[in-house]
Structure 1
Amino acid sequence: MTTHVNLCFHGIGRPGPEREPGESSYWIGTDLFHRVLDLVADDPRVRLSFDDGNASDVEVALPALVERGLHATFFVLAGRLDDPRSLDADGVRLLQAHGMTVGTHGMDHRPWRGMDPATATRELDRARTDLAAVTGRPVEHAALPLGRYDRVLLSRLRARGYAGVHTSDRAWAREGAWLQPRFSLRATDTLEDLRHDVLRPPALPRRLRRELVGGLKRLR
């Protein structure tokens, strides 16, 4: 069984006023971001992704990725395309033009667990359609806002034909699996945290504990 590590970034640089509580805790400094990329650039086990569609995706992240020849998937909030602090349609197309993958993070950055049918249509269908209209390509991958899910949500995503769904479960991922856990980097993380807690394969008890957590989410 081949496994890999999914690293997830949110904002890079100095965060502005929070649009929701706790948002700034998921922003990391530009210097740390560059050092993380340098650390993992030659590591074939690492996959990179970005959530929330912040403007720093094109202002900071894209040039650094291109310079190092790295690929990433960007999970964009379709409802923020007109927000001056977020990616706009031109920014999304710029990511795609440089070979990056564009996925959906929904419309309004709200939890997808427990949505009524109208909200599910807005978050899972309309956001996807809006992004596909921007890119001119199907949007095949989704990242779960706030990492919350259950079996009902996963069934909804499968029924809509998503090729892959990305979580925040902080576990190593299985190559080719439909559900992909990720490690989100936070403002308090250091390069040593990344080396020790993320890039080092977990001991068996820790791995089993994390797999149990994910399994319980899928069953509830």
Structure 2
Amino acid sequence: MIKNICFHGIGVCTREREEGESQYWVRETHFLRMLDEIATHTNVRLSFDDGNISDAAVALPAMEDRGLTGTFFALAGRLDDPASLSPGDLRILRTAGMQVGNHGWSHISWRGMSDEVAARELVEARAALGEASRGPVDEAALPLGQYDRRVINQLKLSGYAGVYSSDRFPARPNSWFQARYSVTAEDTRESIRALILRRPGLSDAQSVLKSAIKRWR
């Protein structure tokens, strides 16, 4: 089993785009210490959601220094936003050996999408990110961690090789559905170490059950 660890923003969130966003930003010094810890373990995968510019400015050089790789789930609708990853940034990430995934167009929940919105979020956004990054976009991360059976079926029909949620439980390395642990502003190197080393328990079983219910409702 592996632990998928997901970061959002690094540094200080100067402007929240969604209420509560700042709680998922971590200080740069804390981030670097967390990476130091993660680099000592082999059962961890890294990913980054929302396509903030800190992914390229802070995360990329720090990961290269430690020999780490990860997947960056960007937003197609923010490619021209100065606070977000640009096409040039995405290409730099790819050149450094990172993967680029789809996090949608507008960072909205994918639950209850009309066919028109689904086409934009799952198909057009994927194509735009592939063109911008000059490479394949094979995986998706669920915006806001929200999904149901219809969303899962839409992603499968769209041909995604994998999908990442915000459910907190270990994942099988080759599973199509990958649960993740989102890092918050309160996390530290010590809490990340405890997360990685923790054996599956009741809380994980409860998270697995909740995820199963969401996938079948």
Q: State the TM bucket, normalised to the shorter chain.
A: over 0.9
Greater alpha carbon shift after TM alignment, 94-103 vs 131-140: 131-140
2:168–2:204 Cα contact (<8 Å) kept? no
Could you tell me which residue of structure 1 aligns to residue 29 of structure 2?
A: 31
| Contact in 1 for aligned 2:6/2:46 (Cα 8 Å) | yes
CA distance in 2, matches of 1:207, 1:33: 24
Shift of residue 198 of structure 1?
4.7
TM-score by length of 1: 0.96
User: Structure 2 residue aligned with 1:73, among 64, 71, 74?
Assistant: 71
- The partner residue of 1:175 within 155, 173, 176 is 173
Q: CA RMSD in A?
A: 1.0
SS in 1 for 2:159: coil
Identify the residue that residue 209 of structure 1 maps to in structure 2.
Answer: 206
For residue 162 of structure 2, what is the amino acid of its counterpart? G
State the match for 1:49 in structure 2: 47
What secondary structure sits across from 1:6 in the alignment?
A: strand
Query: C-alpha separation between the residues in 2 aligned to 1:45 and 1:64?
Result: 19
Q: Does the 8 Å CA contact 2:94/2:100 hold for their aligned counterparts? A: yes
Aligned to 1:82: 80
**Is 2:75–2:107's contact at 8 Å kept on the other side of the alignment?**
yes
The runs of 5 or more residues in structure 1 that have no matched partner are none
Q: Gaps spanning 5+ residues in structure 2: where?
A: none
- 1:63 to 1:159, Cα distance in 2 relative to 1, 3 A: same
Kindly indicate whether the alpha-carbon contact (under 8 Å) linking 1:5 and 1:199 is maintained by their aligned counterparts in 2.
no
Deviations 1:58-85 (A, max 9, x none): 1100000001110010000010011110
Deviation at 1:206, TM superposition (A): 2.7
Partner AA of 2:9 in structure 1: G
The number of residues matched between the two structures is 217
Counterparts of 2:21 and 2:159, CA distance in 1: 30
Distance 1:199 1:21 in 2: 32
Q: Is the 8 A contact 2:172 2:178 kept in 1?
A: yes
| 1:1-220 → structure 2 map (5 Å cutoff) | 3-203=1-201, 205-220=202-217
Structure 1 contact 183–198 (Cα < 8 Å) conserved: no
